[in-house]
Chain A
C-alpha cells in the first residue's frame, strides 16, 4: 500500500528555514535545495512542524465536505475534543444537532468508542497477561513514534484498537440496521483534531482497512457550525457518551477509565519521549498503565483544533449534559476490538541490513562527527551535526553542506591562491646551484 501522510509541505510557502527540522521529534525533515523535505519513513504525523512553521508551509491533508456526496447515508463521528471548541456552549446536544444540520444524516460520538475501549481495557488488565507498564494505544502519533524510535517497547502496547475505530465499527453496524443500506453506501466521517488520526485512516497500521471513510478537521467543522451552535435552541437529544468517554479528549481521561491505581498520564511529544526512554531503562516497571498523548494537554491540543487547549480542557470538564457515572456496556465482546495485525517495528534508524556494514557506517559517522563544529545550527539542512554526519555516510549529503566546513575550505583555497599569486615567476628562494 502506498504510504499516505497527512502532514505535507506547501513548496511555495516554504522559506527553507530551520524551524521544522529542529522541532521534529524523529529527525524526519531536511532542508534540501532551499525547501523542506519530509522523510516519509520517519514521519509520525505528530504535527509539531505544522505548529512551529512561521510561514504555514506545513499542512495536514484532510477530506472536504464534498466527499459526503459519495454516500447515501453519512455519519459524523466527532472526536470529543470538538466539544470544547465553543464558548458558552455546555450542552453537547447542540454540537451534535449542528452536525446534522450541515449535512450529516446521523452522528456517533467517538467518546462512545472510548467507553468501549475503556471497558475492553479493564477486562484485559484483569486477565493479568499484559506486560507492565501497559502503554496506551490511543494516540496514533505515539504508536508510530514507538515503532520508529522504541521498537523494543511494542510488546508493552495495549493491543486494542483506537476509540475512533471502535466507534466506527459500532456506527456502521447501527447505520446498517437503521437504514437497511449496504455497508459501502454508508460514509463514516471522523471529525479530527490531528493529522496522525487522518493518516491512521488512510494508511492504517493495525488493520487492512479503516472502518472510517473520511476525515474532516475540527477547524473546518468549527467554521461551519460555530454560528449554528450558538443560536440553537431545543437541540435533538443525541448525546449518549458519558463523562468517562468524553474525558479522553484531555490528558488523564484514559488513565482514569482504566480503574488502575498506579498510572501516569503524559502529554506533549517531548515528555512522551522522556517517559519512553525511562520505560526502556526499566525504571517504570512498577507502573500499571501509562497514557501517552503526543499533543500538549491531550487531543484538546491537537494541531487541527481552534481553541486554546487549556480552555478547551476546562470546558469539557464542565459540560453539564454529561453523565458522570460510567455506564457498564452490555454484552461487550472485546475480541472484536483487538488489533487485526501486529505492530511491526519500522527499521528506519538502522544504518544497514547487516551488522558489519552498520558497524562500519557507525565508525565513519563518528569520525566525520569528530571534525564537525558541533553547533547544531541547522544551516546544512539537517537538524544537528550528528544528523548531517549520518546523512553524509548514507550518501544523502556531503561535507560541503556544512557552512563552517565550506568556509574552512574556501579559506584554505584562498591561501593557496595567494601563495600562487605572490610567486608568479618561480620562488624567491635562492638557487644555490652553480650558474
Chain B
C-alpha cells in the first residue's frame, strides 16, 4: 500500500502531520509497538528536516508484508557534509528554527538509530532524498 503526503515548508504548525497520520495506519494494521515506535521517531525526524531544511517536499510511504519504506524528497539546499550532519548535536538550523524548538542536531542520528536502513542522496543546491526502511 502506498501513501503520499505533501509537506509544507512554511507551515511549522503542520510539521509532523504526515508521521502522525502514518502512525495511525500502522496501529490500524495491528503492527507491534516497537515497529510503531521505530517508524514514529525516524519518520518524524525526517519530516521535520524536510520542513526546516528542505523547505518542504513530498513523502511517499510504502507498506508491504516485509518492510516499510518511507522516502522524503525535497528541492532544498542539500547536505554539504553528510558525515558532519550524522554527528549528534551538529545542526545547520537557523536561529528562527531553533527558537521554535527544532534544530537540536539529532535528526539524522535518530533516523539512523531507529530505522533499519537509512539511505541519503543529496546534491548541494538541488535537494535531498532520504529513504528509511523499517523491516517487519
Contact = CB atoms under 8 A, between A and B. Distances in A.
Contact of B33 (A151, A282, A355, A359): A151
B27 interface: yes
12 contacts: A152-B40, A280-B36, A281-B16, A281-B44, A282-B44, A282-B45, A345-B33, A347-B30, A353-B30, A355-B31, A358-B28, A359-B29
Interface string A340-372: 000001010111110110110011000000000
A333 interface: no
A281 B30 contact: no
B32 to A, nearest CB: 8
Contacts of B53: none
B40 A280 contact: yes
Contact of A281 (B19, B33, B65): B19
A349 B28 contact: yes
Interface string A117-145: 00000000000000000000000000000
B37 interface: yes
Contact of B30 (A154, A280, A350, A363): A350
A166 B8 CA distance: 49
Given A151-B27, A281-B19, A282-B41, 8 more contacts: A149-B27, A152-B33, A152-B34, A281-B40, A347-B30, A350-B30, A351-B28, A355-B29
Interface in B39-60: 40-41, 44-45
Contact residue range for chain A?
20 to 34
A152 B36 contact: yes
Contacts of B40: 152, 280-282
Contacts of B34: 152
Interface in A354-395: 355-356, 358-359, 362-363
Interface in A263-297: 277, 280-283
